[in-house]
Chain A
Amino acid sequence: MLEVRNITKIYHPGTVTEQRLFENFSLTVEQGQFVSIVGSNGSGKTSLLNIICGSIPIEGGEVLVGGKPITKMKDYRRYATMGRVYQNPAAGTCPNLTMLENLSLADNKGRPFGLGRGINRKRVDFYREQLRALDLGLEDKLDVKMGALSGGQRQAVALLMATMTPLEFLILDEHTAALDPKTAEIIMRLTNQVIREKHLTAMMVTHNLRHAVEYGDRMLMMNRGHIVLDRSGAEKAATSVDDILQQFNALSLDSGT
């Protein structure tokens, strides 16, 4: 269970550009729940992910995992049980390392990075098998530098890397936004598959309303640091894209964007 409790987030506190984003904001995500989050720019959806991951500090409140506060825990420690895929395909992999080196790094997560061989040859077949399952023709490109691959291919590898070792939470930050529609569909399908197979608790921020409606058990719409719509179960299943679009447009008019 993932929980944020009464958090306050202020950008540039004490300056003329001070901006209060969250005040007493709370949200609870149940174990195994797949939450999709939509909202206009500045609504706080990416900030929320950053707060959960510890990438940005908060001015008040608590972040809890399984009921235990992790607010003071350093970001890198939180990732022991979390995986994250970013919007920018370049952010989830090392462009100057080969795909094999990238996968080996991810495969070693949770174990010490000592003076043993960086690449475990015995695992190569396993990597190939995983890559073949992506169906993007990546299985023959293990020795290619990540930077030489397309955005979609990199994002698929990033997803694979983020979920390679056992984990509980998967954080997806508009991870299909920079991809062409066809690739976005492939990545989205893969994402859903891995979340279900590994029974992960997932939070996915997306700009794609259809993805938000089609995937996940629960959908949130955020606006100016507030949750303005929260649907799950049968209610969510009954929600159509048009329905959400109307709500969304109403909000955009409200906020003048």
Chain B
Amino acid sequence: MTDLLISTLTQGLIYALISFGVYITYSILDFPDLGVDGTFPLGAAVTAVLLTRGVDPWLTLVAAVAVGALAGLFTGVVHVCLRVRNLLAGIITMTALFSINLQIAGSNLTVDRGTDTIFTSAPVMALLGDMTLMGRKLVVSLVLAVVIKLLLDLYFKTKSGLLLRAVGDNADLVTTLAKDRGAVKILGLVISNALVALAGCIVCHEQRSFSATMGTGQLVYGLAAVIIGVSLMNFYAASPAARGLRKIRGLRVLASPAGTTAVILGSVLYKLCIQVALSAGLPANMMKLVTAMLFLLVLVLSGRKGEAIIHA
């Protein structure tokens, strides 16, 4: 039981990186970026190739972020400069990446057990060598998710971060600030896709494999996690408990958690729901239906439709 909880938690934390990306594009920029379904395997493809060539596992993270950023740049340029609608721009990137991913990896690619991943790399073994692999996976993904969450929180408070939030909130205002809203959108897509590719990279480390179809449905996954997390957080923020905490000086931060915290929570909860459904013996073919219902339930219960949740 503990094992299952640990591995599900690990999955939730790793996939939270996708949700961070979706949080930026969909929640902040109001841009449903289907390119995610291509960027996620892109990160995995690059990682699988580099790992099999014996590149240091930690360097693959950097490489994945870089290629993800490029993919985001492409979607952004297609949308902003070539004036292609956001949904279509994402679809173009996704479609193109399918071929590119296969070009990079050759075909579905497996990394053999002898090759070091971040979970078995020297620095991790030095720190956490006493733990089981499963334990290391959890700690490393937790650290990654938390570090990225904190970096994002910091970024959202910078001038650039404020401007990014402003573009999603009121793009006309950004124009009157003499800033090119298109450039800001591209920046958002770059950051978002970099994160999604990083998620693909970590999944590749964890699964020791890249598969061309692994990206299917990842945008939907990310959306579900964001919406579940953010709406639950709204419930909480309106609850008496949160109101009580808000009155106590030192505990005020606990009363209104950041959106990024909500996103991690949503991702973990989502994976837990899937695991519960699997453990209960629900056929995998029904899983997407369960996802859709869960999605709908959260939307209805939270009493708000898409837009409102998003900008909470």
Contacts and interface: CB of A to CB of B under 8 A. Distances in A.
Interface of A: 74-77, 79-80, 82-84, 86, 90-97, 101, 104-106, 108-110, 112-119, 162
Contacts of B155: 115
Contacts of B169: 94-97
19 contacts: A76-B179, A79-B175, A79-B178, A80-B178, A90-B170, A91-B172, A91-B173, A94-B166, A96-B169, A97-B169, A101-B162, A104-B159, A105-B173, A105-B177, A108-B159, A109-B177, A110-B178, A117-B157, A162-B176
B158 A116 contact: yes
A75 B163 contact: no
Interface residues of B, number: 23
B246 interface: no
Contacts of B170: 90-91, 93-95
Contacts of A79: 175-178
A164 to B, nearest CB: 10
Given A91-B173, A94-B173, A115 B159 contact: yes
A74 B311 CA distance: 29
B129 interface: no
Contact of A76 (B161, B166, B180): B180
B213 interface: no
Nearest to B174: A76
Interface of B: 155, 157-163, 165-166, 169-170, 172-181, 311
A77 B165 CA distance: 20
A112 B178 CA distance: 10
A90 B177 CA distance: 16
Contacts of A112: 159
Given A91-B170, A96-B169, A96-B311, A118 B176 contact: no
Q: Helix, strand, loop or mixed for chain A's interface?
A: loop
A84 B177 CA distance: 10
B148 to A, nearest CB: 16
A117 B159 contact: yes
A97 B167 CA distance: 11
A93 B162 contact: no
B162 A118 contact: yes
A18 to B, nearest CB: 22
Central interface residue in B157, B177, B179, by most chain A CB within 10 Å? B177
Given A91-B173, A113-B163, A113-B179, 11 more contacts: A79-B177, A91-B170, A92-B173, A92-B176, A97-B162, A109-B177, A109-B178, A115-B155, A116-B158, A117-B157, A118-B157
Q: Helix, strand, loop or mixed for chain B's interface?
A: helix
Contacts of A117: 157-159
A122 to B, nearest CB: 15
B180 to A, nearest CB: 5
Central interface residue in A92, A95, A118, by most chain B CB within 10 Å? A118
A93 to B, nearest CB: 7
B156 to A, nearest CB: 8
A108 B178 CA distance: 10
B162 A104 contact: yes
B173 A93 contact: yes
A108 B177 CA distance: 8
B157 A113 contact: no
A41 B22 CA distance: 42
A76 B184 CA distance: 12
Central interface residue in B160, B165, B176, B178, by most chain A CB within 10 Å? B176
Contacts of B162: 97, 101, 104-105, 113, 118-119
A83 B170 CA distance: 16
B168 to A, nearest CB: 8
A95 B179 CA distance: 19
A105 B174 CA distance: 9
A162 B177 CA distance: 8
Contacts of A82: 176
Nearest to A111: B159
A215 to B, nearest CB: 22
